[in-house]
């Protein structure tokens, strides 16, 4: 019987990767707003290293669990839930398992911080979404749904679509506050003031 499985599907199985060497070779790929790079391109698991500092105001709605291992420096994850925000702190050495569909925004203010994030590859039937929330009242401003094919390439495109939109498109339908778009520091400052996160 002939094996008809293409060998390129399995080219990520082989010798172990020395992570410090891989990080040094891919250092130029860690750029804002997300600062991420995928280790293997064609596996059932999406294994990504994410660094700091990042510049995020988006919240991810992942249809599956996400595993976090904060192996260098410190970070946090802001959770959005029914008009409120809370922060989950990730100290160096911490691991954390996020349930599916929990709206979350990873925050990595420390330059040089590093975290491994492991997610499941998405079948065609599963949709990811990115959401932006009002820093004044906590209500949803907009939601962008997509079939996620590449974490490294698809996220910046989804973010740009929102950040390049008009003030009207970024206006909260509940309290009329305009989301500051690319001015991530203004969004975080307002959230700190209103929600103490």
- Please report, in tens digits, the pLDDT of each residue of the chain (197 residues total): 455 544 455 566 778 999 999 999 998 888 877 788 999 887 889 999 999 998 899 999 999 999 999 999 999 999 999 999 999 999 999 999 999 999 999 999 999 999 999 999 999 889 999 999 999 999 999 999 999 888 778 888 889 999 999 999 999 999 999 999 999 999 999 999 999 99
Amino acid 9: pLDDT: 55
pLDDT at 135: 97
pTM metric for this prediction: 0.89
Distance CA 122, CA 147 (A): 8
Q: What is the pLDDT of residue 7?
A: 46
On whether the 25-195 domain is CATH 2.60.120.10, my answer is yes
How far are the Cα atoms of 44, 109, 133, 157, 178 from residue 74, in angstroms, in the given order? Answer: 28, 8, 24, 27, 30
The predicted pLDDT at position 17 comes to 92
Tokens for 9? Answer: 């599907």
- Count how many Cα atoms sit within 13 Å of the Cα of residue 77 in the half-sphere of its side chain: 24
Alpha-carbon distance of 4 to 69, in angstroms, equals 37
Q: What is the pLDDT of residue 5?
A: 47
CB neighbour list of residue 31: distance below 8 Å, 6 or more residues apart: none
Residue 11 confidence (pLDDT): 61
């Amino acid at each position: 019987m002939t094996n008809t499985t293409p060998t390129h599907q399995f080219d990520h199985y082989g010798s172990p990767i020395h992570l410090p060497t891989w990080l040094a070779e891919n250092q130029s790929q860690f750029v804002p707003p997300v600062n991420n790079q995928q280790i293997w391109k064609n596996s059932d698991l999406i294994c990504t290293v994410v660094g700091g500092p990042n510049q995020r105001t988006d919240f991810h709605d992942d249809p599956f669990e996400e595993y976090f291992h904060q192996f260098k420096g410190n970070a946090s994850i802001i959770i959005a839930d029914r008009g409120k925000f809370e922060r989950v702190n990730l100290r160096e050495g911490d691991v954390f398992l996020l349930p599916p569909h929990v709206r979350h925004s990873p925050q990595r203010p420390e330059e040089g911080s590093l975290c491994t994030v492991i997610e499941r590859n998405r079948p065609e039937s599963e949709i990811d979404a990115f959401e932006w929330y009002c820093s004044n009242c906590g209500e949803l401003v907009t939601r962008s749904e997509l079939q996620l094919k590449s974490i490294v390439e698809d996220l910046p495109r989804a973010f740009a679509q929102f950040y390049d939109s008009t003030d009207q498109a970024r206006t909260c339908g509940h309290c009329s506050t305009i989301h500051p778009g690319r001015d991530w520091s203004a969004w975080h400052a307002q959230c700190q003031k209103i929600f103490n996160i």
